[in-house]
Amino acid sequence: MNKSQLQKSLGFHVRFRPEAIDRTRTPRDDDWILKAVEDDLVELVNARTNDVVRMAYDSIISFHREPDRDTDTGKYGFLSLSVQVHAPGTGRARIEPLPFARGGHGAQPPVTIITHQVSGGRDESSEWRDAAENFGRITGEIEGVYEVYDSGEVIWNVLPEDRSTSRDVEWFLAEARAAGRLLAKYSYVKGKFILQEPVDEADRWLNVVVGLVNPLSRISGDGCDQRGHHDAFFISHLVDASRVTCIRIASEVIPNSRSKIATALRELHRQVVHDILNVEAPTDHTLRDGLQKEWIPKAQAWDANVIKTMNDLGCDPSEIHFVETFALGELRTIQFLYPMNSQWTICDQRRERLEKVIDGYLDKPIFTR
C-alpha cells in the first residue's frame, strides 16, 4: 500500500473489507478513523467502540474513496485488507492473517459476507457464498469480450488469460451457467443490458457481472460483421469478478432489494387497511347500493395492483401465487350487500396473506406473533 496516499487520507472514516468481527465473530461494518500514518504502520480507531488497531502497510491491499458518504465535516472510504481485524470492544483490537484463496492471479483475501437471515430460517446469501467458493476453486483466470450491436443484441465470448487453458474456460462456463440458473430466483438482480430471450445461462451471468463490478480494462473497439455494427468491450479477471459479484449480491443486492420490497408491500398493506377495509355500512339502507358502486371498483383496483406490484418488484412466484390464489372462505362481514361483503372478505384475506409475505422480507417480523 502506498504510504503517501494514506497520509493524504488522515482523518478519513473507512470501512474494512473484510469487515472486522467482534468477540462473537459477528461481522461489524463500523467506521474506523485513520488516526496516524507512521514510518512502518498505521493506526485506526473504531468510531463506535473506540477500539484501536495498528497494522503494517503490507496488511493493506488498497484504499478506495466512498464519495457518496462524504459530508462537509468528514470524508469516507474503504480499506481492503489481507488480515482479519478482531475488535472485541475492550479498547484494543488485534489482527491475524487471512488464508490465501486458491486460483486467479495472485492470492486474494476472502471476503466476509453478511448472512441475511430471513423469516422461517431461509438464508439466501448462503447460496451466493457457495457460488463464490465454487468460482474460487477455478485454477486459472478468464477474460471476457462482449460486443454490443446497434440492434441491441449482445454477444459474449470468454477466453483464457495467460497460462490458463481451455479446460479453465469450460470450468468457468459451467459455474457461470449454474450462477445464471440461480439468478432465476432473484429477478430483482439486474444486469447491464436487457438481453433478448432465449438467453444462455452463462450469458445471463456475464451480463450481471459487467453490471455490478469494475471491468478492470479500458480497452474497447468497434467493428462490423454480418450482424451489423458493434462496439466491443473487455473485462479482465472474470473468475475473480464473478466471486466479487456473488459477494455483492449476497451482502448488498439481496438486503437492499428485500428492504425495498418490504417497504413497497407495507405501503400496499397501509392502503388496504386505511382506504379499503376501513369502511362502515351506512345506517340508511338506501345508501348501500351507492356505496357499493363506489367502493367495489376501488377494492378491485387495489387487488389488481397488489399482484402487479409484486411482479414488478420481482417477488418469488410462490409468494405471488400465495397472495393471489385462495378459496373464498366464510364471509368475514355481512354489513353490506352481498357483492361488497364478498369483495371485502377477499381483500381482508389478501391482506392477511400479504402480511405473511411482508414478514418474510423482514429481519424481525411485525405481523406474526
- Residue pair 48/22 in contact (Cβ under 8 Å)? The answer is no
Mean pLDDT to the nearest integer, 227-252: 91
Residue 17: name the closest of 86, 79, 64, 66 by CA.
79
Determine the pLDDT at residue 187.
Answer: 75
Please, how many CA atoms are within 13 Å of residue 250, restricted to the half-sphere of its CB? 24
Residue 19 reports pLDDT greater than 60: yes
| Cα–Cα dist 331/298, whole Å | 19
Strand partners, 92: 52
Of 14 and 312, the one with more pLDDT = 14
| Cα–Cα dist 247/146, whole Å | 23
Q: Percent of the chain scored above 90 by pLDDT?
A: 46
Residues 6+ apart with CB under 8 A from 134: 175, 178
- Residue pair 156/203 in contact (Cβ under 8 Å)? The answer is yes
Residue 168 reports pLDDT greater than 50: yes
Of 123 and 43, the one with more pLDDT = 43
Angle between helices 201-212 and 238-248 (to 10 degrees): 80
Residue 125 reports pLDDT greater than 90: no
Residue 111 reports pLDDT greater than 60: no
- Strands 142-149, 94-97: pairing is unpaired
pLDDT tens digits, 257-276? 888 889 999 999 999 999 99
Mean pLDDT to the nearest integer, 51-74: 88
Mean pLDDT to the nearest integer, 347-364: 91
Point out the least confidently predicted range of 2-16, 64-78, 112-126, 150-164.
Answer: 112-126
Residue 360 reports pLDDT greater than 90: no
Please name the residue that has the C-alpha cell 487520507.
Answer: 9
* Whole-Å CA distances, 65 to 52, 78, 214, 309: 22, 6, 14, 36
* Helix, strand, or coil (residue 33): strand
pLDDT tens digits, 293-338? 999 999 999 999 999 999 888 888 888 999 999 888 889 988 899 9
Question: What mean pLDDT, rounded, does the chain reach?
Answer: 85
- Residue pair 161/141 in contact (Cβ under 8 Å)? The answer is yes
- Strands 32-37, 27-28: pairing is unpaired
* Whole-Å CA distances, 114 to 50, 86, 338: 22, 16, 51
Determine the pLDDT at residue 154.
Answer: 93
pLDDT tens digits, 189-233? 889 998 877 889 999 999 999 999 987 766 678 888 888 998 999
Residue 253 reports pLDDT greater than 60: yes
pLDDT tens digits, 87-110? 888 888 999 886 543 333 333 333
Determine the pLDDT at residue 123.
Answer: 58
Q: Percent of the chain scored above 70 by pLDDT?
A: 91
- Residue pair 59/69 in contact (Cβ under 8 Å)? The answer is no
